[in-house]
Chains A and B, each alone.
Chain A
């Protein structure tokens, strides 16, 4: 019995550790200054996928990512942790995609994979924090969705039971596969790299990467098919070009501004008793407190 799990993942600039050189003088983002990382909640999603795989005989986990050539890094990273392989969707036709055009492209790629039982992805990516791609992929594929998942509790008779973490509580829901599940950051962390798998897959590569290495490894990869990372361009997926990239993106960026706060003239105090006492007296006198 085959059971195909697809994880949607994204390589993102690490916006949580933004240094001084992250913004260019013209107010645009200097992507080169930000390290590219595996989107954190997609790792939570990968963990849920790997847990399912371990429970279901014959299950496979494949990672699908859309991005530039270097995004293959996160597919390898997934393989080091237990994924079976991956697909990189890449090409300039996808450039300028908003969440809807991205979802359309991902949905086309998933359709090409044939029968997929479950699609798991992070709730949102830290570069945009929109949480839109998961539900939009589900809609494009005509599948139901369970968002804000914290844990997959059970899967039996093709029915999946999921605990959701909401702002003010929890919900347990059940539905039939196939399905799209988006996983919260509160879900268990992803397992670390496995030493043996890291050794096994460290030379896994996309056709572009093999070409760029300059060496002819044809025989090497032919005898080790598990090291081939699939790379799909626009011609590999069935699509209508108008729904891709800029033309498939209903939202347009009108303007981007660097965030500048108006500085106030502040009064400087030390921790000396007399200064704190004067401050508290002042706040009481002007009715800010008390």
Chain B
């Protein structure tokens, strides 16, 4: 009772990184709140899930194994969580801010009348004072998220309703194994007790999910481009530099919107959050929503023709000039000196 639950996203029997990241965060929240970390797996052929998640400190794994639960559809997974939560009364439920979590979370929160905060960038525990009601709440989940296009950061709380629900994007939290040998308990659910036959109203006719070919999140070096790069053609220079340095190419929202780069490469609040060893920002002015997704990089080099670009404030090195001029030089002098 009153534990922390993480909904596991499962594709082809593999638990998604976003869920493992949330388990890691959930574990530290559970420690602070002195409660247990539990996880829910819904799908088909889930025999290998336990071994994947126990090392993250999951004490109880609720397993709903049924052919009809895979692939994911909204209503059956909603019913499963809603009815399970009515029994278990979790205090916190975390989900990935993915196309599944953002489909499922709102529906579950609506059915339970519990608040949900989307796309949190930080989760903390703290107190909240309701001055009007003269009440002080201890140990609430602070759901911290950017709003208004990233111009403000809001801390949201759910004082009275449970569970306190939040979704978090992949890459925002860090993934860390607690103990490779840890084994929790498995609680097998009788699916028909939770999900009605009438919930299976959506039929998945076709499904093409690609494994992500990119690993921007895991790359130690990122060469990232913004609208100032000017064209998809110029973006090739970024690819060249990234290939030379052994890194990946990222992009700002403006560059993706302009069609210079693929959506999958987007870095920022609405894309991936990264923390590389080196971040080279090319022609990126530095909108807050982008900076929020890369400010934790160990070293930042900003290349911009505008000496007053906002991104310069957070950069370790600011090079004033054009991408066309500077990138070939970086490639040339890296090659010359790296041997």
Contacts and interface: CB of A to CB of B under 8 A. Distances in A.
A145 B277 CA distance: 42
A289 interface: yes
A270 B321 contact: yes
Interface string A130-148: 1111111011100011111
B205 interface: yes
A132 B116 contact: yes
B148 A173 contact: no
Interface in A88-140: 98-100, 103, 126-136, 138-140
A18 B320 contact: no
Nearest to A131: B102
Contact of A138 (B107, B209, B326): B107
A271 B221 contact: no
B153 A257 contact: yes
A216 interface: no
A290 interface: yes
B254 to A, nearest CB: 9
B119 A130 contact: yes
A16 interface: yes
Nearest to A246: B132
User: Secondary structure of the B side of the interface?
Assistant: mixed
Nearest to A128: B147
B44 interface: no
Nearest to B117: A251
A37 interface: no
A146 B202 contact: yes
A289 B103 contact: no
A171 interface: yes
Interface string B202-217: 1111111111100000
A173 B202 contact: yes
Given A144-B75, A252-B128, A263-B314, A289 B208 contact: no
B318 A99 contact: no
Interface in B285-339: 288, 291-292, 295, 298-302, 312-322, 325-326, 329-330, 333-334, 336-338
Given A15-B148, A169-B207, A283-B278, A289 B221 contact: yes
Contacts, number: 247
A126 B326 contact: no
Interface residues on B, range: 35 or more
B105 interface: yes
Contacts of A284: 334, 337-338
A241 interface: no
User: Secondary structure of the A side of the interface?
Assistant: mixed
Listed residue (B142, B148, B152, B333) with the most chain A CB atoms within 10 angstroms of its CB: B148
Given A132-B116, A259-B146, A259-B150, A288 B277 contact: yes
B35 interface: no
A77 B300 CA distance: 44
B156 A254 contact: yes
Contacts of A128: 118, 147
B191 to A, nearest CB: 19
Interface in B69-96: 71, 73-75, 78
A270 B326 CA distance: 9
A277 B319 CA distance: 12
Interface of A: 13, 15-16, 18, 22-23, 27-29, 98-100, 103, 126-136, 138-140, 144-148, 161, 164, 166-176, 249-259, 261-264, 266-271, 273, 275-277, 279-281, 283-284, 288-290
5 contacts: A15-B151, A173-B205, A254-B128, A266-B302, A288-B278
